Chain A
């Protein structure tokens, strides 16, 4: 952020965290209120989540206040590369497993996931993916007998 000396003490990580917590917990509390709080002797469906949401929202505000006092661990560094490739690996698995089956899916998501490490080589991770697919097939399909599609449906 810009180097304004008067704001040096502000802990941005904690500020965002506190705001996030307050927003999420308020949302829970608000929706829970709609479920009906009921009376104390007969708690409604909304009672428990409502009060926990309120408590969470208040504590989120406390975290924000702490952020202005410059407490906390400091800035966090996001590992964009691994976040991107690991997420992509999950997304591909979810999209592919039913249409193309286990073998191709595991290879694709392994190759993709391995890219999170800059040193990864394509051939190496494809081989790893094949090995994993074989292992998964033995445990989940052969031993546990799950109905996971193994090969593409057209075959």
Chain B
């Protein structure tokens, strides 16, 4: 088996003491950030990105990816204990999870969450391992025409599943694309929108943008708000085991949640949050205990948690094999790959096979670490929830400033973060989401390049996009997605 031997060599690379340490650091930090409400994996990755400049690419991606899937584990701890989801994808978990806490059964909920997360994550990794080579091989046949169409589809999909209005989502994407054009144009050499600021000649820095738009806005919005108080509940190991009936009732929800999550995670725009919501509502609709959902039953915890962790792993499939991220967090990972001089896409698996398989192998290791962090060591995280927010946000401000300053040791970057942050806060106030903007920022320059090449290929004729079946299909789906809200409201009006 080709895949197995690749995985074995990847495992050998991922299991070096150094990479084991970075993997452990990544998942620990991820859990830490996931546990703290208001801090998502996005901010965690943005904060750590400048630090990884000094690591070798494999270690860097191993650590950053660890923050991402570690955050999915951590997010559910806060959701269960204090009814405030640490990450958006664990919001549904809080419904039944927190109800269990109120019944004094938090330990069971935490244990089952860890198990469900581990199973979901493992299934996601198996699929990632099995399908990535196939998809990458298929993607090698993509031309620039196809790439442009697939990216367009990804952008529109990410905008339309965003919370709030799809229109504002698309505007956010456009804003991101426009910010992405700031700097020197790669093919003509023209300097665009630099306004004579020398720092802008190389473009807006990814770290600066992400920190400003997510970090700054988040801090301003949550500083000073008394958003949490822990209910004191001691979590003991011996209280953790579910009774036999609960264990039996959890098997199928975990299996269904994992499958749904794996599938949705790999699709553009969907990601862990949507997976968790759909898994929960699906489980509720087919369950015999429908009436008990929301009152603290274990099915309501394991199904979304297995789904979001499975999705967190399969989300790497399009990122690694096509170079097209499905969510903003994946876009950040993609950005990290590019910062380390790797060009994401189907060639990554052939040209940088070592790195790819080492990262995949590290996912297995990381999930085992997480199981240990979340079952025997869960009490540490519970204690973490008692730190008042007024100590946390000044610390985050400090890390953002130092992190941004460390990128090029230029204080001007701090002021650019502030400017971007004010924009981000204004967007937040007016209902625009930051995630689609980041997607647009990262994919925009790539799309411009593919569009240029595609039109050159078609000698300036747009029909070139309809001649390729892949591109034509993607454009048709994109058009349907844009037209759908209008059609739906028209239909709704007729029914009313």
Interface hub of A32, A91, A102, A114 (most chain B Cβ within 10 A): A114
Cα(A73)–Cα(B462), bound, Å: 39
Cα(A13)–Cα(B177), bound, Å: 24
Contact partners of A45 in chain B: CB under 8 A:
185, 188, 190, 192
With beta carbons under 8 angstroms apart, the residue of B220, B421, B425, B455 that contacts A41 is B455
Chain B stretch 445-489: residues in CB contact (< 8 A) with chain A: 447-448, 451-452, 455-456, 458-462
Contact partners of B170 in chain A: CB under 8 A:
59
Chain B stretch 205-233: residues in CB contact (< 8 A) with chain A: 216, 219-221, 223-224
Closest Cβ–Cβ distance, residue A31 to chain B (whole Å): 6
B181–A48 CB distance below 8 A: yes
Cα(A125)–Cα(B389), bound, Å: 12
Contact with B along A35-47 (1 / 0, CB 8 A): 1000111111110
A144–B167 CB distance below 8 A: no
B391–A49 CB distance below 8 A: no
A17–B430 CB distance below 8 A: yes
Contact with B along A8-42 (1 / 0, CB 8 A): 00000110110011001100100110010001111
Closest Cβ–Cβ distance, residue A102 to chain B (whole Å): 8
Contact partners of A129 in chain B: CB under 8 A:
394, 398
With known contacts A35-B192, A83-B220, A117-B390, A60–B171 Cβ distance under 8 A: yes
B431 on interface, CB distance cutoff 8 Å: yes
A73–B164 CB distance below 8 A: yes
With known contacts A59-B174, A76-B429, A128-B395, A117–B223 Cβ distance under 8 A: yes
A104 on interface, CB distance cutoff 8 Å: no
Cα(A148)–Cα(B430), bound, Å: 38
A2 on interface, CB distance cutoff 8 Å: no
A109–B397 CB distance below 8 A: yes
B422 on interface, CB distance cutoff 8 Å: yes
A82–B417 CB distance below 8 A: no
Chain A interface size band reads: 35 or more
Contact partners of A97 in chain B: CB under 8 A:
401, 405, 411, 414
Contact partners of B181 in chain A: CB under 8 A:
28, 32, 48-49, 52
Cα(A146)–Cα(B412), bound, Å: 17
Contact partners of B391 in chain A: CB under 8 A:
128
B223–A86 CB distance below 8 A: yes
B456–A136 CB distance below 8 A: no
Contact with B along A109-129 (1 / 0, CB 8 A): 110011011111000010011
Chain A stretch 76-92: residues in CB contact (< 8 A) with chain B: 76-79, 81-83, 85-87, 89-91
Number of interface residues of B (CB under 8 A): 64
B168–A63 CB distance below 8 A: yes
B451–A53 CB distance below 8 A: no
B409 on interface, CB distance cutoff 8 Å: yes
Contact partners of B219 in chain A: CB under 8 A:
82, 86, 116
Contact partners of A39 in chain B: CB under 8 A:
460
Cα(A76)–Cα(B178), bound, Å: 26
B188–A79 CB distance below 8 A: no
B190–A90 CB distance below 8 A: no
A49–B190 CB distance below 8 A: no
Contact partners of B292 in chain A: CB under 8 A:
none
Interface hub of B171, B398, B401, B456 (most chain A Cβ within 10 A): B398
Cα(A83)–Cα(B4), bound, Å: 53
B431–A114 CB distance below 8 A: no
Contact partners of B458 in chain A: CB under 8 A:
41
B390–A114 CB distance below 8 A: yes
A43–B455 CB distance below 8 A: yes
Contact partners of A48 in chain B: CB under 8 A:
177, 181, 447-448, 451-452
B175 on interface, CB distance cutoff 8 Å: yes
Interface hub of A44, A76, A90 (most chain B Cβ within 10 A): A90
With known contacts A90-B414, A114-B390, A16–B430 Cβ distance under 8 A: yes
With known contacts A42-B456, A116-B223, A73–B398 Cβ distance under 8 A: no
With beta carbons under 8 angstroms apart, the residue of A31, A82, A119, A125 that contacts B220 is A82
Cα(A140)–Cα(B402), bound, Å: 8
Chain B residue nearest in CB terms to A72 = B431
A155 on interface, CB distance cutoff 8 Å: no
Contact partners of A52 in chain B: CB under 8 A:
174, 177-178, 181, 444
A132 on interface, CB distance cutoff 8 Å: yes
Closest Cβ–Cβ distance, residue A28 to chain B (whole Å): 5
Chain A residue nearest in CB terms to B389 = A117
Closest Cβ–Cβ distance, residue A76 to chain B (whole Å): 4
B178–A53 CB distance below 8 A: yes
Chain A residue nearest in CB terms to B219 = A86
Contact partners of B409 in chain A: CB under 8 A:
146-148
Contact partners of B234 in chain A: CB under 8 A:
none
Known: A90-B415, A94-B418, A132-B398. 19 other contacts (CB 8 A): A39-B460, A46-B192, A48-B448, A48-B451, A59-B167, A76-B429, A79-B224, A83-B220, A85-B223, A87-B422, A90-B417, A93-B401, A95-B411, A110-B394, A110-B398, A113-B394, A113-B398, A132-B394, A140-B406
User: Which residues of B line the A interface, CB within 8 A?
Assistant: 51, 54, 164-165, 167-168, 170-171, 174-175, 177-178, 181, 185, 188, 190, 192-193, 216, 219-221, 223-224, 389-391, 393-395, 397-399, 401-402, 405-406, 409, 411-412, 414-415, 417-418, 421-422, 425-426, 429-432, 444, 447-448, 451-452, 455-456, 458-462
22 A–B contacts from the bound complex (CB under 8 Å) = A28-B181, A28-B193, A42-B456, A52-B181, A59-B170, A66-B167, A76-B429, A82-B219, A85-B223, A86-B219, A90-B401, A90-B414, A90-B415, A109-B401, A110-B398, A113-B393, A114-B393, A116-B220, A117-B224, A125-B394, A129-B398, A148-B402
Closest 3 CB pairs of A and B: A41-B460, A40-B460, A94-B414
